[in-house]
Amino acid sequence: MEFTLPDLPYAKDVFGDTMSKETFDYHHGKHHNAYVTKTNDAIEGGKHAGKKLSEVIKAAKSDGNQGLFNNSAQVWNHSFFWQCLSPETQDVPANLKSKIEADFGSVDDFKLKFKEEATGHFASGWAWLVLNGDKLEITSLHDADSPVAHDIKPLLTLDVWEHAYYLDYQNARPDYVDTILDKAINWKFVAQNLDGEGISRADQG
């Protein structure tokens, strides 16, 4: 069974200036699609064929197969990322807001810390909000690395690879991070992940 490029959960032209249709055309249609193709090519007819995507990621890490790890983890990360975005500005649900306030002080304090992590991350990678045990944590992972490989529970991610924002924001990563955090986060999905009720399409297989 081959992995497939998941459809976006919204039209590519509904984010306006926040994220352009052209960015989705390249980021989803070309970058994400290329990771899917390379992952399928790497596992075809081999010992990882038929495994779930998360299993391929963990096996590739264990085997030291960096090429397969990079491509399969990028498939998972991107599939999760699209679900973290919403074209409509959402309020933070009460359950998530309460947990954020308990662990970070306030939603604004959380956004500030998340922005610091995302903008301060050197070169390519991902900023993450994760649940580690019973505590929310903000972290970033380099290049294709993924929480899947570390057995921590992802709630929210922001892609800080340059291809994620350059067409719309040029080199102004802080503007990209601010705009997404303030206008385009799917807080309902994040809250569902916290409660264990999120339905993620990231782990195929």
CA atoms lying within 13 Å on the CB side of residue 1 = 7
Nearest-5° Cα angle at 40, 36 to 46: 155
Mean pLDDT of 7-22: 97
pLDDT tens digits, 181-194? 999 999 999 999 99
In whole angstroms, what is the distance from residue 100 CA to residue 84 CA? 17
Question: Exposure pattern of 160-169 as b/e (b: 16+ CB <10 Å)?
Answer: bbeebbbbbb
pLDDT tens digits, 93-129? 999 999 999 999 999 999 999 999 999 999 999 999 9
- Is the whole model's pTM more than 0.85, yes or no? yes
pLDDT tens digits, 122-133? 999 999 999 999
Residue-range domains of the chain with CATH: 21-83 (1.10.287.990), 94-195 (3.55.40.20)
Query: What is the model's pLDDT at position 129?
Result: 98
Query: What is the model's pLDDT at position 205?
Result: 63
